Amino acid sequence: MPEEGYARLLGLAPEHLGDDLCRTPTTTIIRLAELTTVHAPWTEMALALARRSRIGALGVWDYLVTSALTPLEGIQDAATYFGTVGDTSTDALHVSENGHQVVISHLNQADMAYEAGSAVSAYALGGCLQRLSDAAQRQLVPLRVTLASETPRRHHSLIDLFGTRAIDFEAPVSSMTFLASDLKSPNPQAQPGLSAVLRKHAEQTLASSVALHDWLDLFRAALVSVHDEGAATLAAAARRLAVSPRTLQRRLNEHGTTWHDELEALRQGHITRLLHRTDLTIDAVAAEGGYGDASALRRAVKRWYGTTPGSLRRSGDPTHGSGPVSSSHRS
């Protein structure tokens, strides 16, 4: 693909591609898929993507699959935390048991060209098969594969991808069916307790992620970065975006917000997570949240929620349904 076709797509800047917390927008993924299928059949694109997407390329999601006690438990975790690699507003991974069989389905509701959508679903299933086989330490072969795609003229690439000729097209849903016994066999490389740690990490990643949709999202991603580096100043954020502080303030005004409001919202979210998910003292939360002392933190929490930090902590985290965890267990 010529670079000018994709270089300016939202979310493809090096600082965003290299940051697990920046969520590349679905519109960019769709455009990349559509551009690619202009140069190669969708069947070959799916195989090429799967071969290049080796274990570890998809971060914590890969290890959720490969580190569980069984491949089935791993793919169930992967379905639960699919948001770490996909846009759950358009895509989903479902796992269901039916007697002695397990069906893994990829649902894709994104509005994209037929070839691009077919490639994405075939790649998604092929990537799952790779990781399941890695977990089992042997090549797993589905009993059958169904794809919600028109029958292509040739599909030898898909036979290579799935390791079987039992592939049906024009199905309602793209899926793979396995013998349950294949996915319930013990994972030779499983490490007891590791799955719980990985699930926690996936939750934290999703809670802290920044979806990139427009310029304001790019700014917020930059603000998170400078905040984490301990330099949440207007000048630092402007340098990260390669604009002057004055230009940055003007762009924020154009988007109906201000530097003060954006910094306040970031600190509010950060402080709330610290109170709900750690056992740090109020003084420590104030220091880590960028406040001079506990009194300043109390005033801020009062302004946000009309209560005290202690009362907010005791109320629990409504998005997770659990109280604080020990700070020694934070990643």
The SS3 assignment for 13 reads coil
The rounded distance, in Å, linking the Cα atoms of 121 and 65 is: 18
The pLDDT of residue 295 is 93
Q: 35: which residues sit within 8 A by CB, 6+ positions away?
A: 1, 5, 6
The pLDDT of residue 317 is 55
The pLDDT of residue 171 is 96
Question: What's the pLDDT tens digit per position in 48-100?
Answer: 999 999 899 999 999 999 999 999 999 999 999 999 998 888 899 999 998 89
DSSP H or E segment with residue 201: helix 194-208
Find the mean pLDDT for residues 2-10: 78
Find the mean pLDDT for residues 315-326: 48
Q: What is the pTM of this model?
A: 0.72
Question: In whole angstroms, what separates CA 39 from the centre of its chain?
Answer: 28
Question: What's the pLDDT tens digit per position in 11-21?
Answer: 888 878 888 78
Nearest in space to 88 (alpha carbons), one of 177, 23, 18: 23
The pLDDT of residue 157 is 97
Beta bridge partners of 211: 23
Find the mean pLDDT for residues 103-112: 91
Instruction: Give yes or no for a contact between 110 and 30, defined as CB atoms under 8 angstroms apart.
Output: yes
Find the mean pLDDT for residues 111-131: 93
Looking at per-residue confidence, does 2 or 124 come out higher? 124
The pLDDT of residue 322 is 38
Question: What's the pLDDT tens digit per position in 199-226?
Answer: 999 998 888 888 888 888 888 888 888 8
Beta bridge partners of 151: none
- Cα 256 to Cα 82, 216, 240, 280, 304: the distances in Å are 32, 10, 21, 35, 20
Find the mean pLDDT for residues 161-168: 97
- Cα 284 to Cα 313, 314, 330: the distances in Å are 14, 17, 15
Is the torsion defined by CA of 318, 321, 327, 331 positive or negative?
Answer: negative
DSSP output for 91-143: EEEEEEEETTEEEEEEEE-----HHHHHHHHHHHHHHHHHHHHHHHTS----S
104 band by pLDDT with thresholds 50, 70 and 90:
very high
Residue 324 has pLDDT above 60, yes or no: no
The rounded distance, in Å, linking the Cα atoms of 112 and 322 is: 39
| CATH fold for the domain made of 197-329 | Arc Repressor Mutant, subunit A (1.10.10)
The rounded distance, in Å, linking the Cα atoms of 134 and 153 is: 31
Find the mean pLDDT for residues 131-155: 96
The SS3 assignment for 199 reads helix
Looking at per-residue confidence, does 23 or 261 come out higher? 261
Residue 330 has pLDDT above 50, yes or no: no
1 band by pLDDT with thresholds 50, 70 and 90:
confident
DSSP output for 33-75: HHHHTTTS-HHHHHHHHHHHS-TTTTTHHHHHHHSSSSHHHHH
The per-residue pLDDT of the chain, averaged, comes to 89
- State percent of the chain over pLDDT 90: 60
Find the mean pLDDT for residues 312-322: 62
Is the torsion defined by CA of 208, 211, 212, 213 positive or negative?
Answer: negative
Q: 172: which residues sit within 8 A by CB, 6+ positions away?
A: 148
Nearest in space to 56 (alpha carbons), one of 107, 120, 127, 108: 127
